[in-house]
Amino acid sequence: MPRKSLKHHLYVIIFGTHTRAGRAFDIALIAAIITSLVVLILESLPSVMTEWSQELRYIEYTFTALFTLEYLLRLYCSPKPKSYATSFYGVVDLLAILPTYLAIFFPGASFMGVVRLLRVMRIFRILKLVRYLQDSNVLLRSLLMARRKIFIFFSTVGILVIILGSLIFVIEGPHNGFTSIPKSIYWAIVTITTVGYGDMVPQTNLGKAIASITMLLGYSILAVPTGIITAELSNEMNAHKELVKCPNCNRSGHDSDAIHCKHCGSELADPDNRVVAGDENEKSS
């Protein structure tokens, strides 16, 4: 441990999650993020906007100031600011404050569209919350391990959707609402994912047949990603079992809370290769 400098102190509070101060800071930050999101959503309600636009803008400025301060402090106290600024969270923290400043510097009166876009872009502040979903790494690892299979699955779906979309485009044709292949592919996606808006539906019998095939396909291939994730997850969740081996009879398959080998009863070595999620996350952030 280095000496407790102010910088390090700040680091522990802002980036850390183990000290009481650190936890307090995190909770305050979460509260601020959620409040600012509520403000943003309220701003989108015409009724509210007409009455409270002024107040909402002031609140918005306050939050922007707070998040700016947070961003600068993070830059200051982070051991390597560059890597933070370029990290996922660094970019998110910047995105969280940028829009307001842009909206100020380019007076919105002239081009509302951009300003509305900027105002809504602040929604990405929600990504600041992702920092607090860190314990999802079992899920993430499963998804990572399955990424090849998932990519293959999506490629297959993509190919199916393009073929089925083109078929329905030829069969139904423009006069039934299938005016182009992209629109028909959109229909195929709506159908294969079993969403079924009903804004585009086949009229001809052949089209209905294709639609039925698309639905049954979508209905059943849904099983594939589920199978992939499930298989990976149960592997992940049994990972430990494979790790620990009995020093005496050298058999594996022990639970994470096993102290004795269930086969020969001799003591098991302590499981000392357990990674403390918190630590590595701080490093990665």
Q: Which of 89, 94, 183, 282 binds a second copy (CB under 8 A)?
A: 183
- Alpha carbons 257 and 234: distance in angstroms, whole number: 17
Q: Are 15 and 74 in contact (CB under 8 A)?
A: yes
Q: Which of residues 41-100 bind a second copy (CB under 8 A)?
A: 41, 44-46
Q: Which of residues 116-155 bind a second copy (CB under 8 A)?
A: 116-117, 120, 123-124, 126-127, 129-130, 133, 135-136, 138-139, 142-143, 148-150, 152-155
- Residue number, 7 or 135, with CB nearest to a second copy: 135
Could you give the dihedral angle defined by the CA atoms of residues 49, 115, 130 and 30, in that order, rounded to the nearest 10 degrees?
A: -40
Does residue 32 bind a second copy (CB under 8 A)?
Answer: no
C-alpha distances (whole Å) from 239 to each of 140, 157, 183, 235 are 15, 31, 45, 6
One-letter amino acid for residue 71 of the chain: Y
CB of 233 to a second copy, least distance (A): 4
- Residue number, 97 or 211, with CB nearest to a second copy: 211
- Residue number, 27 or 130, with CB nearest to a second copy: 130
Q: Which of 4, 199, 273, 276 binds a second copy (CB under 8 A)?
A: 199
- Residue number, 75 or 233, with CB nearest to a second copy: 233
- By CB atoms closer than 10 A (0-12, 13-18, 19+), residue 224 is middle
One-letter amino acid for residue 281 of the chain: N
Q: Which helix (H) or strand (E) holds 221?
A: helix 205-221
Does residue 102 bind a second copy (CB under 8 A)?
Answer: no
Does residue 227 bind a second copy (CB under 8 A)?
Answer: yes
CB of 11 to a second copy, least distance (A): 26
CB of 148 to a second copy, least distance (A): 6
CB of 280 to a second copy, least distance (A): 17
Q: Which of 208, 281, 282, 285 binds a second copy (CB under 8 A)?
A: 208
Choices 65-73, 77-85, 193-201, 275-283; region in contact with a second copy by CB under 8 A: 193-201
Q: Which of 10, 12, 210, 228 binds a second copy (CB under 8 A)?
A: 228
Q: Which of residues 249-278 bind a second copy (CB under 8 A)?
A: 251-268
- Residue number, 199 or 270, with CB nearest to a second copy: 199
Q: Of 221, 235, 271, which Cα lies nearest the Cα of 139?
A: 235
Q: Of 149, 151, 153, 157, which Cα lies nearest the Cα of 217?
A: 157
One-letter amino acid for residue 280 of the chain: E
CB of 221 to a second copy, least distance (A): 9
Q: Of 226, 236, 232, 258, which Cα lies nearest the Cα of 245?
A: 258
Tokens 């993509």 identify what position?
158
Q: Is 267 helix (H, G, I), strand (E, B) or coil?
A: strand
- Residue number, 64 or 78, with CB nearest to a second copy: 64
Q: Which of 30, 32, 37, 59 binds a second copy (CB under 8 A)?
A: 37
